[in-house]
Structure 1
Amino acid sequence: MNTSYAQRGATLIFVLILLVVMLIGGIALVRSVDTGLIIAGNLAFKRTTTHAADFGIEQARTWLQGVTPATLENDNPGLGYYATRQIVVTDFAGVRPDTQADDIDWDGDRPSAPAKVLSIGQDSAGNQISYVIHRMCDANGPPGTTSNPCESFTPTSSATSTTRGPAYGSGALKGQRAYLYRITVRAIGPRNTRSIIQSVIIL
């Protein structure tokens, strides 16, 4: 009888240990699933804000194409446009706590920041979108002069002409010089997810 009771007690202890192990395994599985769902959700929010920032790029490009060349020769901070490359503006995320001298004033609370943005409001998903445009030139004024060098691009064609000025030959045809503009966009989602992207376009 004593041996039988001892065996039953050992079985109970074994079963309890097994239950504890299964409980720990179940908790670990739940936490793993929760972590996976959180990561998937974060990636989805990030993708949404990135798409919103892409929309900001298109809005800025549309504005650039809709104004006259003379409009682009001078700064217009109220519209988030600068006719120079603003070399001092290096902290595009605006996250450095030690100085505001090289920040973009994304939220309108950094009066000493050299670059202001244009907020274009919220999209249908609730993402707040802002952008700033820099013309890649050294100074205000007409671009491409000796006193105002600019990043530019002159397209060439594989086609040739039999007459090239006063001479005859096979010189390649050249297009009109175009200038580079850097667009920086920030999008903030409803859950404070942030995406900052840049694009350089040629106009």
Structure 2
Amino acid sequence: MARSKFMHPVMAGARRVQRGISLVFALMGLVVLTLGAVALLRSIDTGLMVLGNLGFKQDTLAAASVGTESAINWIQGSTIDTLTKTQAALGYSAVAMANLEAAGPRADADPTSKAVLVDWLGNDCNVPGLKGREVTVCNLPGFLPDVGQNKIRYYITRLCANEGLPDSLNDCVKPVVLSTTGTTSQRGALGYGSSVRFTDISPGTYFRIITRVEGVRGTVSYTETLVHF
């Protein structure tokens, strides 16, 4: 029996439908692959951005050590007369400021309180976040030459209640040291029942060094260091 050269219309329509369904699934698979590729690229871009920001942050922290060392050198190279008086133009206060907001206005500060700030940006402490608070003290920081693209500023406060010598009439924060009682092997170590004890007879005074570094893409880092001499 000879086979007809022409396919039955019903069978031909079914095959066309099958080919159409295959195309739909192929297009769906292409869309899924495209979305997956876009998501992968975005995740890679986000990861690279995070790594870049971490690198910028590390760079500013490294530059902050330069500012801190410069502040320490300034303290060591200054005379007693210089350190017992506030040097406003040099970024130094001989008096501790407990209410100093070194990193800018605090978000949880009382709206009726007075603000004591550091003029890091050189705009008379006209910074956002004050929420109507009055700036009573705007301290000038010490400046250093830029290191690469990092702008370094520091501010030093001596932890004393008043200006003048750190004597019995001026309450200053002094380091706690170990007494010299006991044997040589005991000094510098603490042990149960030992004769080594803490005293506060050290003549040194603590200085607080606050360093601010502004780097690439507006990255800002603050560090705080306590030293005594």
TM-score range, shorter chain: 0.7 to 0.9
Q: 1:171 to 1:187 in 2, by over 3 A?
A: closer
**Within 2, Cα distance between the matches of 1:141 and 1:195?**
32
Out of 162, 181, 198, the residue aligned to residue 224 of structure 2 is 198
**Within 1, Cα distance between the matches of 2:59 and 2:161?**
35
Out of 96, 100, 116, the residue aligned to residue 102 of structure 1 is 116
Out of 110, 115, 122, the residue aligned to residue 146 of structure 2 is 122
Alignment of 1:36-115 (within 5 A): 36-89=47-100, 91-95=101-105, 101-110=115-124, 113-115=137-139
**Within 2, Cα distance between the matches of 1:74 and 1:83?**
5
Deviation at 1:121? 2.1
CA contact (8 A) 2:209 2:225 kept: yes
For normalisation by structure 2, the TM-score amounts to: 0.76
Deviations 1:11-58 (A, max 9, x none): 000000000010011100010000001110001001100111111111
Residue of structure 1 equivalent to 2:212:
186
Deviation at 1:115? 1.8
Matched, 1:151 2:173: yes
CA contact (8 A) 1:49 1:194 kept: yes
- Corresponding letter in the other structure for 1:16: L
- Corresponding letter in the other structure for 1:13: V
Deviation at 1:108? 1.9
Higher strand share: 1
Q: Secondary structure of the residue that 1:143 maps to in structure 2?
A: coil
Q: Secondary structure of the residue that 1:55 maps to in structure 2?
A: helix
Matched pairs, number = 191
CA contact (8 A) 1:94 1:105 kept: no
- Corresponding letter in the other structure for 2:174: S
Out of 133, 145, 165, the residue aligned to residue 156 of structure 2 is 133
Deviation at 1:88? 2.8
Identical pairs, percent: 34
Q: 1:39 to 1:7 in 2, by over 3 A?
A: same
Deviations 1:101-141 (A, max 9, x none): 32111122116533210111201x22000000000000100
Deviation at 1:154? 5.0
CA contact (8 A) 1:86 1:134 kept: yes
Q: Point out 4+ residue stretches in structure 1 off by more than 2 angstroms.
A: 95-101, 111-114, 154-161
- Corresponding letter in the other structure for 1:72: L
Q: Secondary structure of the residue that 2:157 maps to in structure 1?
A: strand
Structure 2 stretches lacking a partner, 5+ long: 1-11, 126-134, 184-194
**Within 2, Cα distance between the matches of 1:182 and 1:40?**
32
Residue of structure 1 equivalent to 2:16:
5
**Within 2, Cα distance between the matches of 1:10 and 1:184?**
69
Residue of structure 2 equivalent to 1:164:
none
**Within 2, Cα distance between the matches of 1:8 and 1:158?**
95
CA RMSD, Structure 1 to Structure 2 (Å): 2.4
Q: Secondary structure of the residue that 1:122 maps to in structure 2?
A: coil
